[in-house]
């Protein structure tokens, strides 16, 4: 008897992640995104923190019941200071800290369900946005970490 099996990769995380490389601070990017798309993204009360450095990464959220969409904007990088261990000219140095070190180019991650190419074009047309692209499939494990 011939038996057929259908194995599908389960997609538990239906949100698409948009990687944005910009020179804008996250609050200014969110302000422009709100104006462009008619959203009401607001800063979350709690930031995402990384254990070794206890550096906080800002999170902005918006749930639209009418469109049945949930938006989340997460900072991917932050600038911190580190004390110099040796005698150098400067006592402290600036250091770039990434939420996801494997994503060292995007500054901001936009998570939304039902992301369309029209939205991507609009976001990439925002002033001072350098690049804008979907999260590569090889890094889909990041979606699990962005679901909270």
Give the pLDDT means over successive 10-residue stretches in the chain (148 positions). 45 76 94 94 86 80 86 88 71 81 91 91 92 91 78
What is the per-residue pLDDT for 94?
77
CATH 3.40.50 fits 15-80+92-146, yes or no: no
What is the per-residue pLDDT for 77?
85
Q: What pTM value is reported for the model?
A: 0.79
Q: Cβ distance 21 to 104 under 8 Å?
A: no
What is the per-residue pLDDT for 10?
39
**Rounded CA gap, 25 and 79, in Å?**
11
**Rounded CA gap, 56 and 62, in Å?**
20
Alpha-carbon separation of residue 29 from 21, 90, 94, 108, 128 (angstroms): 11, 32, 23, 9, 9
Q: Cβ distance 126 to 84 under 8 Å?
A: no
Residues 6+ away with beta carbon under 8 Å from 63: 69, 70, 71
Q: What is the rounded end-to-end Cα distance, in angstroms, of the chain?
A: 45
What is the per-residue pLDDT for 55?
77
Tokens of 48: 């995402």
Phi, psi angles (nearest 5°) of residue 6: -115, 115
What is the per-residue pLDDT for 2?
55
The helix (H) or strand (E) run that includes residue 16 is strand 15-22
What is the per-residue pLDDT for 75?
93
């Amino acid at each position: 008897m011939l038996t057929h099996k259908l194995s599908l990769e389960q997609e538990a995380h239906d949100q698409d992640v948009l990687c944005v490389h910009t020179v804008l601070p996250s609050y200014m990017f969110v302000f422009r995104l709100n104006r462009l798309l008619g959203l009401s993204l607001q800063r979350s009360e709690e930031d995402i923190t990384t254990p070794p450095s206890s550096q906080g990464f800002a999170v902005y959220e918006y749930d639209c019941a009418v469109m049945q969409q949930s938006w989340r904007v997460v900072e991917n990088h932050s600038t911190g200071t580190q004390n110099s261990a040796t005698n150098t000219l400067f006592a402290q140095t600036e250091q770039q800290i990434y939420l996801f070190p494997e994503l060292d180019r995007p500054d901001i991650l936009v998570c939304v369900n039902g992301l369309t190419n029209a939205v991507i074009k609009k976001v990439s047309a925002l002033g001072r946005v350098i690049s804008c692209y979907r999260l590569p499939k090889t890094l889909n494990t990041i979606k699990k970490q962005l679901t909270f």
